[in-house]
Amino acid sequence: MRHIKLVISYDGTDYVGWQVQPNGRSIQQCLESAWASVSGEQLRITASGRTDSGVHALGQVCSFATKSQLPTQQIVRAINAETPFDISVLTAEEAPDGFHAIRDAKQKTYRYHVQYGRIMDPLRLRTCWYVPGEIDLESMQKAAVLITGEHDFASFESAGAERSTTIRNVIDLQVTPESVHNFPGLEIAITANGFLYNMVRNIVGTLIRVGKNREEIEWVAWVRDQKNRRHAGQTAPAHGLFLDHVVY
């Protein structure tokens, strides 16, 4: 069987998320039915990870095994001709035999965008979290260090998709200022060898509590060490989150 690896981008606003669900249109379903139109094959397309409703992707990776002999360049064009405009296949390539988009992922990078200040940017309603008032960026940067490295991230795992271990290695976590349309904002970029359910959004919600001076910097280490979700900050909303890329 031939294995194809796709890199795709999407605006997650109008979807129930990656995974096929009875209650609405999913990214997976749109891709699978696009491929069925192209090739006649009804098959399962697997992504590096499920993204929730409203979460976007700049470089999600997914894969499938096919009998089709269509060249990869034509696969890109053919699927894009069948998917809605808010989903694009960026590249298609031959993957090694038995390639699996989840199992073989070595690390992933997410980006989360926050806009703050007195006024909401009306042009980024779908793509960033508006936090009213000021944010102390430097405190967030110091707190981010406490989350970097190999830790038990149980405090940052939402219920709903438990894994065998909650230990992950956060390889890099950067909080950088980002001004768009003259509105102050920030970007949180996080790279890890794997993520628990809602881990990025729970880390963002926790760091923002520090940025709002509701908690001390050291509180983040305390939360981390509790290994209990109820101590962390709120789950930041889905629409600020982008799956940036996946490394294999």
Active-site annotation holder among 14, 52, 136, 244 = 52
Among 9, 19, 29, 68, binds a second copy (CB under 8 A): 9
Contact segment (CB under 8 A) with a second copy among 43-51, 76-84, 102-110, 205-213 equals: 76-84
Q: Are strands 241-247 and 56-66 parallel, antiparallel or unpaired?
A: parallel
Closest to a second copy by CB, 57 vs 147, is 57
Interacting span for a second copy (CB under 8 A) from 63-71, 95-103, 113-121, 145-153: 113-121
Closest CB to a second copy among 14 and 218? 14
* Residue 120 binds a second copy (CB under 8 A): yes
Q: Does 80 bind a second copy (CB under 8 A)?
A: yes
DSSP 8-class letter at 160: T
Quote the least distance from Cβ 123 to a second copy, whole Å: 5
Helix then strand then coil, in percent of the chain rounded to 5, is 30, 35, 40
Q: Which of 30, 34, 62, 76 binds a second copy (CB under 8 A)?
A: 76
34-53: b or e for each residue (b if 16 or more CB lie within 10 Å)? bbeebbeeeeebbbbbbbbb
* Residue 85 touching a second copy (CB under 8 A): yes
Q: Which long-range contacts (CB under 8 A, 24 or more apart) does 132-136 make?
A: 133/212, 135/184, 135/186, 135/208, 135/211, 135/212, 136/210, 136/211, 136/212, 136/213
Which parts of 39-58 interact with a second copy (CB under 8 A)? 56, 58
125 near a second copy, rule: CB under 8 A: yes
Which among 65, 54, 49 has a CA at the least distance from the CA of 246?
A: 49
SS3 at position 44: coil
133 binds a second copy (CB under 8 A): no
Catalytic residue check, 86: no
Cα–Cα distance, 238 to 54 (Å, whole number) = 5
Q: What is residue 206's three-state secondary structure?
A: helix
Would you give the binding string for a second copy spanning residues 142-181, x where CB under 8 A is met? Answer: ---------------------------------------x
Q: Which residues sit at the interface with a second copy, rule CB under 8 A? A: 9-11, 56, 58, 76-77, 80, 85-90, 118-123, 125, 127, 181-182
Residue positions annotated with a catalytic role: 52
